[in-house]
Amino acid sequence: MNLLSKLILYLLLGGLFATKSFAASSIVEVSYFSKTMNSTRKMNVYLPDGYTTNTTYYPTFYLMHGGGQRYYTWTNTNDGNAKAILDQAISSGKTKPMIVAMPDVPDFAPDLFTRELCNDVIPFVEKTYRAKTDKDSRALAGLSWGGLQVLDAGLYRYDLFGYMGVFSSGWFIGDNVYNVMKTYLAGNGTKIQQSMRYLYYGQGGTGDIAYNNGAETMKVLRANGIKVNYWEHPGGHSFVCWRLDLRDFLPFLFQYGLVEDKPNTPYKGLAHTIPGIIQLEEYDEGGNNVAYMDDSPGSEVTPAVNYRTNEDVDIETCTDNGGGYNLGYTKAGEWLEYTVNVANTGKYDLDIRVACDGTGRTLSVDIDSVSIAKDVAIPNTAGWQVWQTITVKGINLTAGPQIMRLTIGAQSYINLNYVEFKGMVTGIEENDISEFIQLYPNPFESEVNLKHNKLFSYKLYNVLGQLVAHDHNIEEKAIGGNLDKGPYALQIISNGESFVYKIIKK
Ligand SMILES: [Ca+2]
Ligand SMILES: [Ca+2]
Ligand SMILES: [Ca+2]
């Protein structure tokens, strides 16, 4: 046997053994008597590899099917394919071994579901299996109608569940459940947030029939202080999307005390200032699944670049103006967080420096879980070091420290060098333009001419709100000759009226 044959045999055997160890998990179908329904009911239960041979107690994940589906839909290989997804996540170490209970709750109204789950399903599972029984060892998730059920159980009985996943679902805007929930959350949002370890909210893009209801539901949750982690996958309202939701939710489960309560800290202890440039390789410290999510251990760049070498983010040497480093090998759904400090409340423009050899790429930016730039289309620059700036205009930011998160969209691979927030002045918004004031050219390269049909004063502020130039009792003036490049707020006061303009020196 030559070396190549030995290698192939070894690889084949290795594959075979890996398959065998997967197969040691099992799906069992069991029956229990439900007092709520006064009937005997079925459920599928996933028991992880090792369950039958050890004495360990496991955390438990309650996973709900959707409307028109049954307890076996998640485990049908053509639908949820849940066993393979769980086997893969557990055997690769991405999530902890767990019991997964998939009860039969076809089209149960959310409040009926909550009674069935809490009074019958959970007590049965916890007396039948070696299930841990503390809140932080219980998770629940559901798709579509099952998502509505989960919103009911998870939000009213937040004392029972530390983790919650809603896939392609949301309240019907304006109906009774929606109105009652809004009132309930106004009084209980803070307590729920204190108890919740991770709330995953997945949608299948704008082609998902639940998209608008989901967007509104997230808005209500966030407005009441609940942190929502939003994930979007292609596939619309289908298992294409929900299988990815299951895969991506699993790594967050049962991590409390291990991952989720470890806070991010800014790179080298120094928050990025807004307005200003944020080099994207200067993401927060805290490691994978805390400060960022990267799906490959170590660096995919060969040879690896000598920069933050103990992290999993894939950093390349950058040949853009200014050099430095850029993010490479960014995969769909990967994200990075940056502790930022916004100097002034106001409107900002966001420049994003990208290189991309391909089409159809997008990225999104959130600040403290609120979207500020969603699905920004990335141009094809026809080269991985061919750099271009794209701009998102008119972003409202509030002053103070917060976390910026950058997320790669559904298509992998965008190279990213830096972002720059360019700001306007605190509390001064551009207002109605006076028809009697002339201002040209704007943007300008050397000077901008001001003209009014009566005497006026002006004040010019930089993005930090500092007064950089002023004059009074003038009719006409050219200004800006000594300014640095960037945006400024120009206030013109005449006859007791004030007008504010944004001017830009190029
Ligand atoms: Ca990596
Ligand atoms: Ca990566
Ligand atoms: Ca950079």
The model's pLDDT over 236-291, given as tens digits with 9 standing for 90+, comes to 999 999 999 999 999 999 987 654 455 778 898 888 888 889 999 999 998 888 89
- Tell me the residue length of the chain: 506
Domain 20-252 matches domain 267-423 at the CATH topology level: no
Going from the Cα of 460 to the center of ligand 1, the distance in angstroms, rounded, reads 46
How does pLDDT run across 7-45, given as a tens digit for each residue?
333 333 333 333 334 459 999 999 999 999 999 999 999
CA of 290 from ligand 1 middle (Å) equals 14
Read off the pLDDT of each residue in 311-339 and give the average, rounded to a whole number: 95
191-221 pLDDT, tens digit per residue, is 999 899 999 999 998 899 999 999 999 999 9
Q: How far is the CA of 335 from the centre of ligand 2 (A)?
A: 9
Cα(83) to centroid of ligand 2, in Å? 26
- Which of 445, 425, 505, 437 minimizes the C-alpha distance to 477? 437
Convert the pLDDT of each residue in 386-437 to its tens digit. Answer: 999 999 998 988 878 889 999 999 999 999 999 999 876 544 556 556 778 8
Tell me how far the alpha carbon of residue 289 lies from the centroid of ligand 1, in angstroms. 12
**Contact by Cβ (8 Å): 262, 286:** yes
The rounded Å distance from CA 328 to ligand 1 centre is 9
- Distance from Cα 314 to the centre of ligand 2, integer Å: 5
Regarding the domain with residue range 20-252, which homologous superfamily does it belong to in the CATH classification?
Alpha/Beta hydrolase fold, catalytic domain (3.40.50.1820)
Percent of the chain whose pLDDT exceeds 90: 65
Q: Calculate mean pLDDT across residues 78-101.
A: 94
Dist. CA 450–CA 447, nearest whole Å:
10
Domain boundaries, the chain: 20-252, 267-423, 438-505
pLDDT in tens, 40-61: 999 999 999 999 998 899 999 9
| Cα of 338 from ligand 3 centre, angstroms | 13
Distance 371 CA to ligand 3 centre (A): 23
Q: pTM score, two decimals?
A: 0.52
Read off the pLDDT of each residue in 131-160 and give the average, rounded to a whole number: 97
The encoded tokens of residue 325 equal: 């480093």
Nearest ligand to the CA atom of 300: 1
Q: Is 6 exposed, middle or buried (0-12, 13-18, 19+ CB in 10 A)?
A: exposed
- Is CATH 2.60.40.3080 what the domain over 438-505 is classified as, yes or no? yes
Q: Tell me, in angstroms, the distance from the centre of ligand 1 to residue 48's CA.
A: 28
What's the gap in Å between 337 CA and the centre of ligand 1? Answer: 15
> Which residues are near ligand 2, the ion (C-beta closer than 5 Å)?
294, 314, 329
Rg (alpha carbons) of the chain, rounded to whole number: 27
Backbone angle region of 473, left / alpha / beta, with phi > 0 → left and psi within -120 to 50 → alpha: left
Mean pLDDT of the chain: 89
314: CA distance to ligand 1 center in Å?
5
pLDDT on residue 12: 35
Half-sphere exposure at residue 216, Cβ-oriented, CA atoms within 13 angstroms: 14
Average pLDDT over residues 322-337: 95
Helix (H) or strand (E) holding 249, with range, is helix 239-249
- CATH architecture assignment, domain 267-423: Sandwich (2.60)
66-70, 328-332, 359-363, 477-481: segment of lowest average pLDDT: 477-481
Start-to-end CA span in the chain (Å): 71
Tell how far the Cα of 200 is from the centroid of ligand 2, in angstroms: 21
Measured in Å, residue 148 CA sits from the centre of ligand 1 at 36
How much is the pLDDT for 498?
A: 75
Question: What integer pLDDT is reported at residue 397 of this predicted model?
Answer: 87
Average pLDDT over residues 106-117: 97
Question: How remote is the CA of residue 365 from the centroid of ligand 2, in Å?
Answer: 17
> What pLDDT sits at residue 341?
86
> Does the pLDDT at position 4 exceed 50?
no
308 CA distance to ligand 1 centroid (A)? Answer: 12
- Mean pLDDT computed over 2-7: 37
**280 alpha carbon – ligand 3 mean position (Å):** 6
CA of 291 from ligand 3 middle (Å) equals 17
Q: Which ligand is nearest to the CA of 277?
A: 3
